[in-house]
Structure 1
Amino acid sequence: MSGVEPPVTGAVRPDHLRGLTSVEVAERIRQGRVNAVPDAPVRTTAEIVRANVLTPVNGIIGVLFVLILVAGYPQDALFAGVVVSNSVIGIAQELQARRTLGELAVLSAPRARVIRDGTEHEVAVSEVVADDLLRVGPGDQIVVDGVVVDEVGLEVDESLLTGESDPVPKDPGDEVLSGSFVSAGSGHYRATRIGPEAYAARLSEEARRFKLADSELRGGVNVILRWLTVIIPPVGILLLLRLLDTEDRWQDALQGTVAAAVAMVPDGLVLLTSLSFITGVIALARRRALAKELASVELLARVDVLCLDKTGTITTGEITYAGLEVLDGIDVDLASAALGALGGVDPDPNPTLAAIAAHHPPPPDWRPTATLPFSSARKWAAASFDGRGHWFLGAPDILLGPGDDEVRARAAAETEAGRRVLLVARADEPWDGDRLPARRHPVALILLEDTVRPDAPEILAYFRAQGVTLKIISGDHPATVAAVARRAGVADVGTAVDARTLPDDPVALADACESHTVFGRVTPHQKRAMVHALQSRGHTVAMTGDGVNDVLALKDADMGIAMGSGSASTRAVAQLVLLDNRFATLPRVLAEGRRVINNIERVANLFITKACYAVLVTALVAAAGSPFPFLPRQLTLVGTFSIGVPGFFLALAPNEALVRPGFLRRVLAFSLPAGLVAGTGAFVAYEATRRMHDVSLAEARTVATITLLAAALVILV
């Protein structure tokens, strides 16, 4: 049990909770003892320029540009414009994305509550100074390392740092580490290590370096580029040796080799891939959705299971007080006073307690001697009051004993109607840690209601139509969750599962998760286990949430989605933050992801087809000993009008078709046959024309160019 001091507000604070004075804060700022937070993992302008200029594709094109100048054909150097256009467009788009996302990130950044001159202030994390006194409550991040000064049932979840699953109770004098978060209770701690000396900053120094997220699209494109890097040099050298033997001048041989190499390089593929990601992220930002990574738009498009936390996602998160049902033989005034006292002892009430406290103010003559704040894991809170015994508030199915069947039936009837039901109970003995006393006496039922978002039925129907399986996961009673799910239009609700009956075995848990839709009484660690179970069956899982009980599942899901009004800890671990709390943004995110994936696939088909027919023509020329059928400028024009310009518009066009796995396999299945037909057709037309009487090499090359352009346009259509 935790000792309790009456909550303090305003300037009436004990000396040890008055914090630093303004003079002390100013002195620490002058000394540089401020929380200089390491820069966020984004690329600097210099890094952006280097990343867009010093690319393998630009390097290859640059070498070919030098070779064509050495050969004495500057008129054939048009292909070098690709280096400039790739670099300029890539730099401009990434700078715009960085600026847009930076503006939104400010709105999502965590804040710190500090006590200075006895008054609470909210400041940016970077404004915390050494020895500051910070106040924390449920869902708050521990932003700097420190030592607990006082607490009311304070429990800290350090699993993001240590991997330990159980929350750690904190007493005065205990250390708290930055990067952890408050799972229950509240308290004050004094900052001891700040800036780069804080635990999370030292732990994640390497992890904070800019790194692109894993992406099937980017991975597929990189595989193609690696193979072409292996293929182009030997094929080019073979062609050069053959042309040196057949051409009269070495300059002509070098010209033909450059033409072949230029055609084999998918010069715009990398640019258009990045451009599609960036424009997708910017489009989401305009809808007040902050994507932490470029690949976020792709990730949600690949999601086939969407796990929804009931409160704050399919409901508005606003809890409405619906009434107090006093049980037989209980005085109404006593029940109301006890309920008000329980609501008043928590200095950081959750929305449920806040709704209750608004209708039942705390009585002045109930003095708390010990408290235990509500926890999502245990599903109850408790307080002891001087001369009035020990009182409990929580889930009826947790607090009711074996002989309370009548009360249990009344609570079940209300939950079946879709209401949230809590129980007030009294005991003669106190609790012991997380263990309830053996006998509790039910006093009253509290009725609460959730408000379903008006657009929830339409949005959930959209996801079902798009082939996304929905799972409703909540800590509330299964019957309540099922009733809300039906009101929101969730199909196939079936029998709601009480998560306390779920197996621990991963295989059995995966079976249960796949065969049911609605789950109640789910603990935070069960949510994470359910995400893992679904992933083990090959599903790509997205998780939405807004509370501290969702943090672990959000972090481990393939796509974590947090509400902007949610706790700081959920916003910190999520990959996508809906800053305006609009659930309706999710379909737009899905559409953006599908546009990116499907359009990049269409663009990749064109570029890889070009590389395929270039490799084929090069091999045929080397085998036949003919002059190369194209000049570099001819291939540049064919590529520009059949691939480059159309590919730019294809990459940005609307496309909400269902996403299928196997990006690389499908691209190769399309490009190899298409390249074979285009390359063979152009070479046959070239050879047939070249062997005609009185036909010059230039005319034969023109025929080959027209044939290749026609074939490429057919492939485009």
Structure 2
Amino acid sequence: MSDPAHPPAPHTGLTKAEVAERVARGEVNDVPVRSSRSTAEIVRANVFTRFNAIIGVLFLIILVVGPIQDGLFGFVIVANTAIGIIQELRAKKTLDSLAVIGEAKPTVRRDGVPTAIATGEIVLGDLIELGPGDKCVVDGEVVEADGLEIDESLLTGEADPVLKKPGDKVMSGSFVVAGGGAHTATKVGREAYAAQLAEEASRFTLVHSELRTGISQILKYVTWMMLPTAVGLVISQLVVQGHDWKEAVRRMVAGIVPMVPEGLVLLTSVAFAIGVIRLGRKQCLVQELPAIEGLARVDTVCLDKTGTLTEGGMDVSELRVLLKNADEAYVRQVLGALGESDPRPNASLQAIIDAYPDGSGWRCTESLPFSSARKYSGAAFNGPDAESSNWLLGAPDVLLPDGHPSLSEVEQLNAQGLRVLLLARAERELDDPRVVEDVRPTALVVLEQRLRPDAGETLRYFARQDVSAKVISGDNAVSVGAVAAKLGLPGAEAPVDARKLPAEKESMAEALEGGAVFGRVTPQQKRDMVAALQSRGHTVAMTGDGVNDVLALKDADIGVSMGSGSEATRAVAQIVLLNNSFATLPSVVAEGRRVIGNITRVATLFLTKTVYSVLLAILVICSRVPYPFLPRHLTLLSTLTIGVPAFFLALAPNTERAKPHFVRRVMRYAVPAGLIAGLATFAAYLVSRAYYTGTDTLAAETSVATLTLFLISMWVLAIIARPYTWWRIALVLAMGLGFLVVLATPWLQRFFALKLVGTTMPWTAVAISAMAAVALELVWRLVGRRFPA
């Protein structure tokens, strides 16, 4: 609290000369706020990968043994890496530009003039002003305090706000929950506390991503399989088959290269990057890329009413004087004086200031800033008649005892979706912990909230997508329920007062499962509610814009902040809606579902290839026969049946709800499909070896095996491409046509060493492929029944 009757001399801050001197000494807050990796990091991350190293070594080997057409896979890797770098650089450009728009600018006082500057322009000794929702960006010492309460929970884990007085320390990373003040910067740059904690990580961090984790797990297993298989193939082709060393190496490379699902990592990065670009065009800043994926997995969205379902502003619709002998003009003056007493009014008080601007004649001697924890603010005045009085303005159900006659009137107004504040005269001093006892209710201030025009449709979208919406607000439960009911939220007709919720997690979770609207929720309760829902296995997203939402945003699986929200909420959220539009959320969900659903599709293609490649290598080693393919054959097959179609499928629209267990869902079909493809291809190869006679028939046998594997792979593609649209059908047909062009063009036949001899074996390959296709269909249907999508 403060004593405006004897205000201290205002601090003027640094002068321009002092600022220039500190800049010259390098005493600047030079920690970069990054929304993406640097260009050098992007290039390194895309070039220096485990599989680029493996493929690069194999490519160099082929350059030695020749011919160049067996090294086509190396050029594919170069193209893939270039695509990945270009797309991520495009995403970086989008992220960086949006981060500049969304970056908060603290207010510093220099030469006595408050000025908003970039965080990186703060110098040592700067005087930084603080108000509700502001984040402390550097360490400092408080020099001015007006009921200044700071939440340090993000640093210390202690949820209770700390009242700060002049001389107290503040740490960067904490934020203001009530009151105001100013502090001098005592540590800037990398010396600041929060900067030291975050030295190893920038804002561009990889939060838990099941997609990335699953792919890394798959690649780890593939790596361990490759080494023994490569040794076995070399021994088989060199010693058992008696090939010359160059031919043995070519066949070994042909067996190893298709085991590497190299394009899968690329397509995952590209899908994320394009998602960022698409959302960036809608003014949505994705501060952590996997947040796109995370929101797609969300099954419960917790919404703060103010700023999410309603717009920030409010209007005073009515003033109801409760005391019979009270003068309404007098009440208006008190409200005007309360408005003037708070230099940083919230939305409710701003509406009162707009309605009752005249507070002249009233001198504020003490103030109590609004806090979302206590639900009221206050001030002490010397009125025009020199009479001193203490006033409180806040939630009627907090300031009045249960059963008070005025509460029934409040309930009626709340039921209409109106927000009601009580103006009451306090008999005790403002710093008395029992100040709310024995207050005299003077007037009800009725506020009308502005509903967001797009909120109703957004709630209906979540309902259609089986995403449960929970409105958790600090406002009166009945009022919140009325607003939610206007927007058509199911369950809004039975709002719950959070003060009656059990504190035990399991009991709270049960209550949350059955309710949709919760009012009078404290900031700590919001955090507890998120944890309770998570304990039931729910993936929870939390949206909000005020400091009372910070704790819940931080603990939720995905935090979504409005761009106009407090600096603290934007700092902890993974997604910031810069246009302040709740209606952007469906776009984020849809983008995440597109990424996850499509990557699951294409992963099945890549891993089917890995499985049949491993199986073919094992069968060749055990059967002591020449490996049926050269690298060029499998490059052709991979390009037509996986590489090109996977690129289009990965970027296609997809609204399927994301499901957990990525690896299991992919492998449940990739393993049987790969086994069928490998066994059928090897069977066709053995039949062709028995059919063709002579010493130089390996090329004909290879062509039969290539045709068989292509037809089976095309059927796998046809299954994965479902449900069919015109462009999916055209894609599958175009890939088939591409293979026919190779078979029908003489120079392409020679380039790829493909030539079908006679008609018996080619048709035999078609027949074997048809039987394999039937098996693939049966497996697909069996998997669909046992593991429904």
TM-score class, shorter-chain normalisation, is over 0.9
Kept in 2: contact 1:38–1:196 (CA 8 A)? no
Deviation (angstroms), 1:41: 6.4
Q: What is residue 482 of structure 1 aligned with on the other side?
A: 481
In the TM superposition, what whole-angstrom CA distance separates every residue of 1:416-435 from its partner, at most 9, and x where no partner exists? Answer: 11100000000222133544
What are the superposed Cα offsets for residues 303-360 of structure 1, whole Å, 9 maximum, x if unpaired?
0000010011111122111111001322212211211111110110111101101111
1: CA distance between counterparts of 2:352 and 2:703? 83
Q: Is the 8 A contact 1:524 1:550 kept in 2?
A: yes
Q: Deviations over 1:559-587 (max 9, x none)?
A: 10011111111111110011011111111
Q: Is the 8 A contact 2:399 2:436 kept in 1?
A: no
> Residues of 1 paired with 2:175 and 2:147: CA distance?
14
Aligned to 1:339: 335
Once the two structures are TM-superposed, the CA of residue 547 in structure 1 deviates from its matched residue by 0.8
Partner of 2:647: 648
Aligned to 2:214: 220
Q: Which residue of 1 aligns with 2:393?
A: 393
SS in 2 for 1:313: coil
CA distance in 2, matches of 1:33, 1:220: 45
Aligned CA distance change for structure 1 residues 128 and 312 (closer, same or farther; 3 Å): same
Shift, 1:363, TM fit: 2.3
* Deviation (angstroms), 1:207: 3.4
Q: 1:589 — aligned with what? A: 588
- State the one-letter code of the partner of 1:339: L
Cα distance in structure 2, aligned partners of 1:694 and 1:204: 70
Q: How does 1:487-498 map to 2 (within 5 A)?
A: 487-498=486-497
Deviation of the 1:6 alpha carbon = 8.6
Summarize the Cα distance change of 1:39–1:443 in structure 2 as closer, same or farther, 3 Å threshold.
closer
CA separation of 1:6 and 1:291: change in aligned 2, threshold 3 A? farther
Give the letter for the 1:367 counterpart: R
> Does 1:289 find its partner at 2:284?
yes
State the identity %: 53
- Paired residues for 1:341-360 under 5 Å: 341-360=337-356
Write out per-residue CA displacement over residues 338-385 of structure 1, whole angstroms, 9 at most, x where no aligned residue: 111111101101111011011112422211111110100000111111
Distance, in Å, in 2 between the alignment partners of 1:438 and 1:699 is 96
Deviation at 1:653? 0.7
**2:368 counterpart residue number:** 372
TM-score with structure 1 length normalisation?
Answer: 0.97
Q: Retained in 2: the 8 A contact 1:38–1:201?
A: no
Deviation digits for residues 581-617 of structure 1 (CA, Å, limit 9, x no counterpart) = 1111111111100000000011000000001111111
Alpha-carbon contact 2:94-2:276 (below 8 Å) kept: no
The 3-state SS of whatever aligns with 2:565 is coil
**Aligned mates of 1:235, 1:434 — CA distance in 2:** 75
- 2:5 and 2:107 map into 1 onto residues whose CA distance is 19
Q: Give 5+ residue unaligned stretches, structure 1.
A: 8-13
- Is 1:271 paired with 2:266? yes
1:714 match:
715
Which of the numbers 48, 53, 57 marks the counterpart of 1:54?
Answer: 48
| Residues 1:383 and 1:615: Cα distance change in structure 2 (over 3 Å) | same
Further displaced range: 162-171 or 107-116: 107-116
Q: What is the RMSD of the two structures over their aligned residues, measured on CA atoms?
A: 1.6
Name the SS of the counterpart of 1:431 in structure 2: coil
Distance (whole Å) between structure 2 residues aligned to residue 6 and residue 512 of structure 1: 50
Tell me the amino acid that sits aligned with residue 398 of structure 1.
V
Where in structure 2 are the equivalents of 1:621-660 lying within 5 Å?
621-660=620-659
The answer to whether structure 1 residue 661 and structure 2 residue 660 are counterparts is yes
Shift of 1:73: 3.4
Question: What secondary structure does 1:660 align onto?
Answer: coil
Q: Could you tell me which of 185, 192, 210 is aligned with 1:191? A: 185
The 1-side partners of 2:5 and 2:623 are apart by 93
| Counterpart for residue 508 of structure 2 | 509
Q: What is the alpha-carbon distance in structure 2 between the residues aligned to residue 501 and residue 708 of structure 1?
A: 65
Asked if 2 retains the 8 angstrom alpha-carbon contact of 1:305 and 1:468, the reply is: yes
- For the structure 1 residues 17 and 652, does the alpha-carbon distance in structure 2 shift closer, same or farther, using more than 3 Å as the test? same
Deviations 1:153-197 (A, max 9, x none): 110011011111100001111111111110001112222211122
SS in 2 for 1:306: strand
The match for 1:138 is 132
Partner of 2:125: helix, strand, or coil?
coil
The one-letter code matched in structure 2 to 1:181 is: F
Q: CA deviation at 1:299?
A: 0.7
* Alignment correspondent of 1:10: none
**What is the match of residue 316 of structure 1?**
311
Q: What one-letter code is carried by the residue in structure 2 that aligns with 1:428?
A: E
- Secondary structure of residue in 1 paired with 2:649: helix
Deviation digits for residues 266-325 of structure 1 (CA, Å, limit 9, x no counterpart)? 121110111111111111001110001221110110000000100111111221111110
Cα 1:6–1:634, aligned 2, differ >3 Å: closer, same or farther?
farther
- Give the Å deviation of 1:129: 1.8
Q: Is the 8 A contact 2:543 2:560 kept in 1?
A: yes
Give the paired residue count.
710
d(CA) in 2 for partners of 1:176, 1:73: 68
Is contact 1:238-1:622 (8 Å) kept? yes
Contact 1:129/1:191 (8 A) holds in 2: yes
Aligned to 2:699: 698
Please, which of 57, 69, 89 is the counterpart of residue 95 of structure 1? Answer: 89
CA distance, structure 1, for counterparts of residue 9 and residue 6 of structure 2? 14
Asked if the contact 1:82–1:267 (Cα under 8 Å) also holds between the matched residues in 2, the reply is no
Report the equivalent of 2:201.
207
Q: In structure 2, what is the Cα distance between the partners aligned to 1:341 and 1:594?
A: 52
- Select the residue among 246, 255, 277 that pairs with 2:241: 246
Q: CA deviation at 1:147?
A: 1.5
Cα pair distance change 1:552/1:230, threshold 3 Å: same
Q: Check conservation: 1:478, 1:519, Cα contact below 8 A.
A: yes
CA gap 1:495/1:210 in 2 versus in 1, 3 angstroms? closer
Rounded to whole Å, the distance in 2 between the matches of 1:546 and 1:248 is: 70
Which consecutive unaligned segments of at least 5 residues does structure 2 have? 719-789
Cα distance between partner residues in 2 of 1:56 and 1:427: 70
Q: Report the 3-state secondary structure (helix = DSSP H, G, I; strand = E; otherwise coil) of the residue aligned with 1:527.
A: helix
- 1:5 Cα deviation from its structure 2 partner: 5.4
Q: Select between 125-134 and 643-652 the one with higher mean Cα deviation.
A: 125-134
Q: Give the aligned partner of residue 762 of structure 2.
A: none
How far 1:445 sits from its partner (Å)? 0.3
For 1:708, give the aligned amino acid. Answer: L
Tell me the SS of whatever aligns to 2:512: helix
Does residue 175 of structure 1 match 2:176?
no
Conservation of the 8 A alpha-carbon contact between 1:494 and 1:516:
no
**8 Å contact from structure 1 (residues 430, 437) kept in 2:** no
Aligned residue for 1:231?
225
1:541 aligns with 2:536: no
Rounded to whole Å, the distance in 2 between the matches of 1:35 and 1:222 is 37
Question: In structure 1, how many angstroms separate the alpha carbons of the residues matched to 2:121 and 2:2?
Answer: 31
Contact residue 485 and residue 493 of structure 2 kept, 8 A:
no
Q: Which runs of 4+ in 1 moved over 6 A?
A: none
Counterpart-to-counterpart distance in 1, 2:128 and 2:203: 28
**Conserved 8 A contact 2:204-2:287:** no
Cα shift at 1:254: 1.7
The structural deviation recorded for 1:135 is 1.3
The equivalences for 1:526-605 within 5 A come to 526-605=525-604
SS class of match (1:139): coil
Q: What residue in structure 1 maps to residue 460 of structure 2?
A: 461
Retained in 1: the 8 A contact 2:375–2:398? yes
Find the residue that maps to 1:491 and give its secondary structure.
coil
Equivalent position amino acid for 1:328 in 2: L
Kept in 2, the 8 Å contact 1:259–1:631? The answer is yes
Bigger mean CA offset, 350-359 vs 211-220: 211-220
The aligned counterpart of 1:280 is 275
